[in-house]
Chain A
Amino acid sequence: MKRFRRLFIANRGEVAARIARTCDTLGITPVFGVSEADREAPYVRGRESVVLGPARSSESYLARERIVQAAVQTQCSVLHPGWGFLAEDPLFASLTEAHGVTFIGPPAAVMQKLGRKTPAKVAMAAAGLKLIPGSDGVLRNVDQAREVAGATGFPVLLKAESGGGGRGMRIVRNVADVKDAYESAQAESVACFADGRLYLEKLIEGGRHIEIQLLADKYGHVVHLGERDCSVQRKHQKLIEESPALVLNDAEREQTLAAAVRAARAIGYVGAGTMEFLLDGDGELRFMEMNARLQVEHPVSEMRTGIDLVEAQIRIAGGEPLWFSQDDIELRGHAIECRINAEDPSNGFAPSPGVIERWKVAMEGDENVRVDTHVESGYEVPPHYDSLICKVIAWGKDRNAACDRLSKALQSIRCDGISTTTPMHLAVLSSQEFRDNQYDTRAVPGWES
């Protein structure tokens, strides 16, 4: 088993601060790779850091060689990629390992497989997870697309095999539109991903987004840390996440959790990972994709289980077998998180970078409230990166108690200088639709945008 003494953080902002916190508790020295825009950021003050390059991500947080060289020359034996940037880049994972630095995440080959749609789905179906009905892998041509669409039932969604971010994707509502949609999706997919292969799925409108948190060691032991409901979304961006997902019936939950564990074991998954599902109108969970990394919303599961997922990632990467079993994991009460972004919700969520003149979360000391942030008074939110500035997580014995506590915590936030999404969160938390759990991913409950 390896004992790491120095860990390289190949990320920025909130997740960088989060990883460093666990390093501190484990007695590991974190070394931050930063861009020029972040070199003076409060979370690296008094810490070791290496300037990777200019603010532009392609020359800093996405520059594989620079990052690995920085980890090597600062004598780090392990690297945490955080989320976003290069966290799910198999090339980066193998480059890191090739230079003798342990990469925190699954093996590059597993990551590669999960990055492409069809192989991932085949593996998941084999392990007993339900898929969204559609084509059996990649479509051969328009004729086959028409045939499969007819058999599946309209509306359907044509998607790029190598796609992401909504590119190369077309909704088709009747058979006459298949040809045009197929051709334009293919053209876009070739242009964006240099891969014109398409597949087809039934379009599930107004579902709920449910995901399962998994943890696997290098020896085939896999456990789950329960599910999360992340259905409050705007343009596919999650805003609020909670656990448990009360919209799920117990039989479906138990069955899917067990199948997810089997599937993760079957593909040889290692580390923390998340399987994402769509809950359809019949109450069934259908597998969408697996994220081979730590997720932004991981604190929700940490609050319910008391397990530090970053610590687990580091210990697993060092070769430690899982030190608890599924039976040891107790899922307690209800936890809910909201993401506070530097955006103006009353102005179409326009980005709001700038200097935070005053920052305070008065409820930070409450043991059932957790504030994950990298900002403080005087911090300048740079215009180069994403807008997440803070996450507030609350725990309660049930959903209402957790929501009430979160509302109180949000009201205690003082943030002068920039606009944030806090007012939207307060409106959602107090809305009837959200409290009744009657909403879906298409619209933010309690907020007209």
Chain B
Amino acid sequence: MSGDACVLRARPVDAEASDLLAPGVGVFAPTVGEGELVSMGQSVGTIDVLGVLRELTVPEGVAGRVTARIGGGRARVPVEYGDALLTISTAAMAHVAELGSAASANAEGALSFTAPMSGRFYSRPSPNEPPFVSAGEVVQRGQTVGLLEVMKTFNRLVYQGDTLPEQATVERIVPNEGDDVVRGDVILALGSLSEK
């Protein structure tokens, strides 16, 4: 059984971090971990209340890197009302603007996510962390798929755009780590989910 989605409440910890708070008593099953980037509308896991699962999503105005997660690495964590489920550091993202709507479907109908402007592409938040997405994964609207360094500032590449479906499968990440791309270059080659 699953209930309605629930937008989490955020509580500022300091100027550069916010906690996302448990909406009630239940068992929290996170789907994001430390180091991952999250942004508004993205699902971060579910809460199980008497067998009913509710999707938990990031509220408006919160975006950044997960710096702490309740229960360490546990997959299911019993929580109480107001527990800090995730701590989101906005510091890492302070100078990272959101870039999106850089997508297109070409004539043959193959989907791709293209660079919104020219810059240097990075697939991971920092060199020793896992990439935002890898081939074979499903991306959904609002999800961060990479960083683009433009004039010494980092911009988040967010999967969104009118011509793209709600979800798509990543078939290939086209540029290599640190490659310079120009506006319009394909970054992700995508496959539509319905074809599978």
Contacts and interface: CB of A to CB of B under 8 A. Distances in A.
A53 B81 contact: yes
Given A63-B24, A68-B50, A73 B81 contact: no
Contact of A51 (B50, B52, B80): B80
Interface string A64-95: 01111110111000000000000000000001
A10 to B, nearest CB: 12
Contacts of B52: 65
B27 interface: yes
B27 A73 contact: yes
A44 to B, nearest CB: 12
A94 to B, nearest CB: 13
A52 B80 contact: yes
Interface string B1-42: 000000000000000000000001111000000000000000
Task: Among B49, B52, B78, B81, find the residue whose CB has the most chain A CB atoms closer than 10 A.
Answer: B81
A99 interface: yes
A52 B26 contact: no
Nearest to A49: B80
A54 interface: yes
Contacts of A51: 25, 80-83
Contacts of A205: none
A164 B162 CA distance: 56
Contacts of A65: 49-50, 52
Contacts of B26: 69, 73
Contacts of B81: 36, 51-54, 60, 66
A95 B27 CA distance: 18
A54 B81 CA distance: 8
A50 interface: yes
Contacts of A36: 81-82
Nearest to B52: A65
A52 B25 contact: yes
A53 B82 CA distance: 7
Nearest to B24: A66
Contacts of A50: 25, 80
Contacts of A54: 81
Contacts of B80: 50-52, 70
Interface string A39-68: 000000000001111100000100101111
Interface string B43-66: 000000110100000000000000
A201 to B, nearest CB: 41
A60 B24 CA distance: 9
B40 to A, nearest CB: 24
B111 to A, nearest CB: 41
A50 B82 CA distance: 10
Nearest to B23: A53
Nearest to B3: A65
Contacts of A69: 24-26, 49-50
Nearest to A98: B50
Contact of A52 (B24, B27, B50, B78): B24
A60 B23 CA distance: 11
Task: Among A65, A68, A99, find the residue whose CB has the most chain B CB atoms closer than 10 A.
Answer: A65
A69 B24 CA distance: 10
Contacts of B78: 73-74
Contacts of A60: 81
Nearest to B83: A51
B82 A66 contact: no
A52 B78 CA distance: 12
Contacts of B24: 52-53, 63, 66, 69
A50 B83 CA distance: 10
A99 B52 CA distance: 13
A68 B80 CA distance: 12
A67 B83 CA distance: 16
A2 B52 CA distance: 28
Contacts of B25: 50-53, 66-67, 69-70, 73
Contacts of A72: 50
Interface in A156-195: none
Task: Among B24, B27, B52, find the residue whose CB has the most chain A CB atoms closer than 10 A.
Answer: B24
A52 B80 CA distance: 6
Nearest to A70: B25
A120 B78 CA distance: 41
B22 to A, nearest CB: 9
Interface in B74-115: 78, 80-83
Contacts of A52: 24-25, 80-81
8 contacts: A51-B80, A51-B83, A52-B24, A53-B25, A60-B81, A66-B49, A70-B80, A74-B78
User: Which 9 pairs, one residue from A and one from B, show the smallest C-beta to C-beta distance?
Assistant: A73-B78, A51-B80, A70-B25, A51-B81, A53-B81, A50-B80, A66-B25, A69-B25, A69-B49
Interface of A: 36, 50-54, 60, 63, 65-70, 72-74, 95, 99
